[in-house]
Amino acid sequence: MVTKLRRYSQIADVLIKYGYGMALKQVFPESSLRRFFRKKAPVSNLSDYERIRLALEELGPTFIKFGQIVSTRREMFPSGLIAELLKLTDDVPSLPFEEVRSTIVEFCGPIDEAFEYLEETPIAAASLSQVHRGMLKDGTLVAVKVQRPDIEALIEVDLLILQSFAERIEVRYPEMIIYNPTGIVREFAIQIRRELDFSNDGRNADRLRPIVSEVPHVRVPDIYWKYSGKKVLVMEYIIGVRVDDFGSIRLIGANLHDVANRGMKCYIKQILKYGFFHADPHGGNLLVDMDGDLVFLDFGSVAMIRPERKEAIVTLLLGILEDDVDEIVDSFLQLGVKIEDKSMDAFKDDLYAILTEYSGQSIEDFDLSGLMNQIPVLLNRHHIQVPMNLMQVIKVIAMVLDTGKHLDPEFHFSTEVGPYIKEMEIERIFSRDTIRYVAKEAMDIVDDVLSVPKSLNRALTKATDGSINIDVAANDVMCLSRSIDRASNKMLVGIVVGAILIGSSMMFLLSPEGTSVPYNLALFGYLSAFVIGVYSVYRVWKIPGYE
């Protein structure tokens, strides 16, 4: 078991080894000076960013994962650092089977009773877990993902140290608060703790399965919950090749263009329709099976988008496709991006310059992936902070586009996926969720309208009792009377229109199919409400004295 003090010492030694001793001393000035004079590694031929990457890799899984999280924050950190952190890999030597046997037995029961066989040599190993191939008693081929012993305890110690580092940096360097070090560490702690619970991994797979199945020839492996838990996940084993192994994909006879198209459409559906998506689409997490189907793997990293923000992401993508600066900026604001008024014009100018650069390209040369990667750089230049889930969306779309372009250079987002986004937007407008929203808004309007007479009655009662002193002339009284009559008429119209909308919405929701009587009545109700509304507006604008 690694103690906090010993781990502090290990981290300090690694940082000093790669030339960051003085930086460490500035953050922790009370530290002992002796260790800073130890022999350092020959790092003079390495760049600062290379040394950071090597230090993170040597510090182990927590710091590797942290570096990978930082690499998604392109709007906050220099592009050179991001490029280096993207090289981080958590591939590590596997552990002997005897060291993970007890964990497998804890969740699966005796191995001979649960499995026909279980290979002791792992087929994959990473910083948090390793994977063994096996077969259940019923003949089902499975992949058994088992957590490394004591990894959770090590990560908890590392999280405490990272939090301490972040707090010290904010105290010693107030100018760094803009980058929110403590906030980044908190987000990272939440994510890595979720990844440590393999039950989350399995639940995410179950939730994504019906979503991805809406796109033909895309699937998610089955999870076998009887043998799965917090530290072990048993899932369907699928034979296939990595999505970035283009030569092997050709060898199995899969169509590269179809694979690229399915992947992009599947991600657009996850993000825009459901607001729940696989957030780590690198080559090792996407397979092409022997039938040419696209298979998603590793569901520890997923992201969610609130319903009200999905429309803003649609607006963002359509704005990019249509070179509409104002639409893009509006979508950023809806997504919680804070752009100061004094920076707005300069930001729009730079955004327009980027859009102009890319819009001048032909469809064949148009590089949307490059454009998506330019947006975080622009945000960084203007010191604009962005919510984490928006950066995940941008990262995922850029990664999938890049993979799609490598799969098939003839794959063009604007011609293949652009129309699909517009179809989804039309579908969303006429969806039951939208109807429910309209019904709720109509009910709110009716409630507001109905509250007016009560408020007016209370005011008149107070005036009658002498609680309110009002000085009015006779002509004013007549004008007030006419105004009240007109207001009453308008309220009546509002109530009628609201009632029609609510009734129509209820019939629409209850209609089993488009040809049913309730469905047709609902359409008639919407049409009636529209006609009454247009007529009321006409009365207000065209008839003297009506307003």
Q: Which of 272, 302, 332 is the last residue of a domain?
A: 302
Name the pLDDT band for 45 (thresholds 50, 70, 90). confident
What is the percent of the chain where pLDDT is above 90?
29
* pLDDT at res. 90: 67
What pLDDT sits at residue 154?
Answer: 92
pLDDT at 68 over 90: no
* Domain of residue 295, residue span: 97-151+194-302
pLDDT value at position 1? 63
Among the residue ranges 336-340, 407-411, 457-461, the one predicted with the least confidence is 457-461
35 vs 483, more confident = 483
275-288 per-position pLDDT tens digit: 899 988 888 889 99
397 pLDDT band, cuts 50/70/90, is confident
Give the pLDDT score at 437.
63
How much is the pLDDT for 438?
A: 63
Residue 130 and residue 81 share a domain: no
Domain co-membership, 84 together with 121: no
Of 253, 282, 302, the position where a domain reaches its end is 302
At 367 the pLDDT is 64
357 inside domain? yes
| Tally of CA atoms within 13 A in the half-sphere of 151 that contains its CB | 24
Is a pLDDT exceeding 60 seen at residue 543? Answer: no
CA dihedral 283, 287, 293, 294 (to 10 degrees): -40
Structure tokens at 170: 């904010």
CA distance 484 to 486: 5
Return the pLDDT at 225. Answer: 96
**Mean pLDDT value across the chain:** 81
Whether residue 185 is predicted with pLDDT greater than 60 in this model: the reply is yes
Token pair belonging to 323: 């070179």
CA 152 to each of CA 61, 196, 506, 513: distance values in angstroms, whole numbers, following the listed order: 10, 7, 51, 51
Same-domain check for residues 264 and 325:
no
Distance CA 297, CA 520 (A): 44
Task: Specify whether 124 is located in the same domain as 229.
Answer: yes
Q: Is residue 296 very low, low, confident or very high in pLDDT (cuts 50, 70, 90)?
A: very high
- Both 147 and 289 in a single domain? yes
In this prediction, residue 43 carries a pLDDT of 63
Residue type, 37: F
pLDDT at 172: 85
More confident residue, 152 or 174: 152
Distance in angstroms (rounded) separating the CA atoms of residues 69 and 66: 5
21 pLDDT exceeds 90? Answer: no
Establish if 188 belongs to a structural domain.
no
| Closest to 62 measured CA to CA, from 202, 200, 193, 198 | 193
Confidence at residue 217, expressed as pLDDT on a 0 to 100 scale: 94
Q: Is 547 a domain residue?
A: no
pLDDT at residue 313 above 60?
Answer: yes
Residue 522's pLDDT band (boundaries 50, 70, 90)?
confident
Q: Are residue 402 and residue 512 in the same domain, yes or no?
A: no
Statement to judge: residues 288 and 231 lie in one domain: yes
pLDDT over threshold 70, residue 500 = yes
Asked, for residue 10, whether it belongs to a domain, the answer is: yes
- Are residues 159 and 85 both part of a single domain? yes
Q: Are residues 117 and 43 in the same domain?
A: no
Q: Do 402 and 384 have their domain in common?
A: yes
What pLDDT shows up at residue 513?
53
When mean pLDDT is compared over 163-177, 288-302, 350-364, the highest value belongs to 288-302
- Closest CA relative to residue 414, chosen from 353, 352, 354, 372: 372
Total domains, the chain: 4
| Residue 375, pLDDT score | 80
Q: What's the per-residue H, E or C state across 175-227?
A: HHHHHCHHHHHHHHHHHHHHHHCHHHHHHHHHHHHHHHCCCCCEECCCECHHH
Residue 115 and residue 57 share a domain: no
Does residue 242 lie in a domain region?
A: yes
User: Of the candidates 302, 333, 367, which is a domain's last residue?
Assistant: 302
Asked whether residue 438 is assigned to any structural domain, the reply reads yes
To the nearest whole percent, how much of the chain has pLDDT over 70?
Answer: 73
Q: If you average pLDDT over residues 437-448, what whole number do you get?
A: 65
pLDDT in tens, 83-141: 898 888 766 788 999 999 999 999 999 999 999 999 999 999 888 999 999 999 999 99
User: What average pLDDT does this structure show over 482-501?
Assistant: 66
Q: Are residues 65 and 173 in the same domain?
A: yes
Residue 389 inside a domain? The answer is: yes
Looking at residue 141, which CATH number applies to its domain?
Answer: 1.10.510.10
pLDDT band at 308, cuts 50/70/90? confident
- Does the pLDDT of residue 39 top 70, yes or no? no
Angle 315-205-230 from CA coordinates, rounded to 5°: 130
Does residue 187 lie in a domain region? no
